[in-house]
Chains A and B, each alone.
Chain A
């Protein structure tokens, strides 16, 4: 170990220093596990209502993903679920009884409707003690609703902006971390997931408080930001000091990503869920384009947050220090900047943004243990498009990727829309790896 270490950057750090190393590590590990695991619900083995959504047309059966089902009892919402890649969904119940089950038609994919449009809600679903009740919503070919091309393209564009919002927030953090440490952080995906999952824990899990989503988001973002700082101090910093190569660090981040993802799957469960607030909003017309209010809020808040970050980077001392370290680390250090502290701050900021992005994604799509990983490659696409290490470029890149992904459904089947983002990633790396706004480094 090196002699004459600097005093740890935070008060917590200084306090912890007095305890011996392995005990410290153990405490941090168990503490983190506990904090993550405690508010997350174990999906109860009690009564449930569930089913499989399958779309039938021309003798083919296709599972339908991403549809929200809400279960209520006498007007009180009990829970919601989102159908997974196999069309399966499940809502745990507090006990046996009679429930109402309704399907949110706004979450049905293009061209798919209920075969009987009046059966949006099943009013009398009786569940016995310990029973996992199965219900069916038959889905078939819908009438091509009178949606004009303009409306369709407009709606997809807005959808692209909302997806882009999440990507921009999370990718920005990824790029900042790369900028100050040159680490390609595969575990960034899990920061996104943790944000959404912890918000769910404080909001609708049944274990822990049931705050409105807007309030539940606050401790979620704070906890994830704190976790980011922890990672920087107790994992990445020691490894850097040890001299571990950048490629090894990247592989370590892959291992961490895998471990965290499995841990989240373990504590949170394998099924995607949805937030209870803001579910089933009806569309309003803006500029003749149908939009759901929460999409607008997502896009608007994201733009404000990104703007604040740019101001932070440009104007504040800490932000300028971050840019200095990203530009030329040794020079920054010799100008008196505390590089370790800047790096830790960058991690905290990046984690915060990722968590926010995750909550928005959960709000607009669903919350699952692998949600971060599903968009990780899109995050890379945004970062590569904008330029690894840049801030503004990546913000733009995030929105561009989101728009391309959503609008590609005009030509591609919905299940392939991510591919368009991946193609951007691959093509950029081959043609212009420094990104649109990045400067040419020793690339190839």
Chain B
């Protein structure tokens, strides 16, 4: 059993652009759910809107910087449109509404009606040229050592991605440590009490939704530019569920929690994947029960189980103590 290979798979995934993107999206979700207590289960829609906003702008001939602006603005607008009618709903109703809205958005983007704009079922391709043209590293050079190598192309995305993660974390930290952040935490604890103290709870929740959404939109843009192709089926509810595991795992409502959760999750996710692949290939009785495709699905089963165990046994995640932070706010 080549443990180094499995370890390498985990580590490379953890520092890679996928984790950076998920960390970014998780930071946004952490603001909405961890700090403001909004049970937003349509979070993936922000990533979709950001990604498509940018890609469509570039497809129609716009420069990259305009595409970025459009993508982020689109995500903020989504927060506004989603929040205004729905934020006054009870938490579980908001959860259902947000997941329904996200699916509506995805299905509309996927439909033949939208095909001229969004590529419908075929998606959009080849819009990332300008982004990769900015890459200072030669694309085919390999960087790293031993098993832990990445291409120049990937290195660029990694650096940009993690830079964005750092910037967002600093932004969130600044907000959370301010009186604004304190009001947000108060809202999470008890909305009525906060209202009775003269705070416009609705406005704060809307702001959290929009800001968190903007950051998630950025994550969507990162994914799109990295992959150079965009398809609506990449933005299904399963992504939101994974993000929740990450946020809760790291510690909802903690500053570094979203990033830690994304890193730990992806490490375990991809290491498990590599492990299962090895087991399936090398151990006969496992290979007899499971095909390679099936071995690959085991990790999703584990994700679901992990979410359940987390909520029950350690809802405060890794970075918080039982007293100060529990994702269930009970």
Chain A interface residues (CB < 8 Å from chain B): 42, 45, 62-63, 184, 239, 242-248, 250-252, 254-263, 265-267, 270, 377, 380-381, 384, 413, 415-416, 418-419, 422-423, 425-426, 429-430, 433, 442-444
Contact = CB atoms under 8 A, between A and B. Distances in A.
Contacts of A256: 304, 308
Contacts of B308: 252, 255-256, 259
A230 to B, nearest CB: 15
Nearest to A29: B305
A255 B88 contact: no
Instruction: Pick the most buried of A262, A413, A443: most chain B CB atoms within 10 A of its CB.
Output: A262
B113 A416 contact: yes
Interface stretch (B57-65, B214-222, B294-302): B294-302
Given A42-B291, A247-B329, A252-B307, 4 more contacts: A245-B329, A265-B297, A377-B100, A426-B104
Contacts of B111: 413, 415-416
A41 B312 CA distance: 33
B311 A380 contact: no
Q: Which 5 A-B pairs have the closest CB atoms?
A: A259-B304, A255-B307, A258-B304, A245-B330, A262-B300
B105 to A, nearest CB: 10
Interface in B282-300: 290-291, 293-294, 297-298, 300
A258 B96 contact: no
Interface of B: 39, 41, 85-86, 88-93, 95-97, 99-101, 103-104, 107-108, 110-113, 121, 238, 241, 244-245, 290-291, 293-294, 297-298, 300-308, 310-312, 315, 327-330
A266 B301 contact: yes
Contact of B100 (A259, A265, A425): A425
Contact of B108 (A184, A246, A419): A419
B305 A259 contact: yes
Contacts of B303: 255, 258-259, 262
Contacts of B110: 415
A425 B307 contact: no
A374 to B, nearest CB: 10
A270 B97 contact: no
Contacts of A444: 88-90, 93
Contact of B291 (A45, A257, A258, A425): A45
A106 B124 CA distance: 33
A426 B101 contact: yes
A377 B275 CA distance: 35
Given A252-B308, A266-B298, A416 B90 contact: no
Given A245-B328, A413-B113, A425-B100, A255 B241 contact: yes
Contact of B330 (A248, A254, A259, A270): A248
Say whether chain A's binding surface is mostly helix, strand, loop, or mixed.
Answer: helix
A243 B306 CA distance: 20
Contacts of B99: 377
Contacts of A426: 97, 100-101, 104
A433 B104 CA distance: 19
Contact of A380 (B86, B96, B107, B312): B96
Contacts of A422: 100-101, 103-104, 107
Contact of B112 (A242, A377, A413, A425): A413
A262 B104 CA distance: 23
B290 to A, nearest CB: 8
B92 A247 contact: yes
15 contacts: A62-B121, A244-B328, A247-B91, A250-B92, A251-B244, A255-B307, A258-B307, A266-B290, A377-B96, A415-B112, A416-B113, A430-B85, A442-B90, A444-B89, A444-B93
A258 B92 contact: no
Contacts of A425: 96-97, 100
Contacts of B241: 254-255, 258
B92 A248 contact: no
Nearest to A418: B107
Nearest to B248: A251
A296 B40 CA distance: 40
Nearest to A423: B104
A65 to B, nearest CB: 10
A257 B304 CA distance: 7
A423 B85 CA distance: 14
B113 A262 contact: no
Given A255-B311, A425-B97, A430-B85, A248 B327 contact: yes
Contacts of A262: 297, 300-301, 303-304
Nearest to B295: A266
Contacts of B315: 248
B38 to A, nearest CB: 12
B104 A415 contact: no
A255 B328 CA distance: 14
A417 B187 CA distance: 38
A218 B8 CA distance: 49
Nearest to A250: B92
Instruction: Pick the most buried of A42, A45, A248, A267: most chain B CB atoms within 10 A of its CB.
Output: A248
B96 A184 contact: yes
Contact of B92 (A42, A184, A255, A418): A184
B107 A247 contact: no
Given A258-B238, A416-B113, A418-B107, A429 B294 contact: no
Nearest to A184: B92
A251 B311 contact: yes
Given A45-B291, A433-B93, A248 B311 contact: yes
B297 A266 contact: yes
Contacts of B121: 62-63, 415
A257 B241 CA distance: 10
A252 B92 contact: no
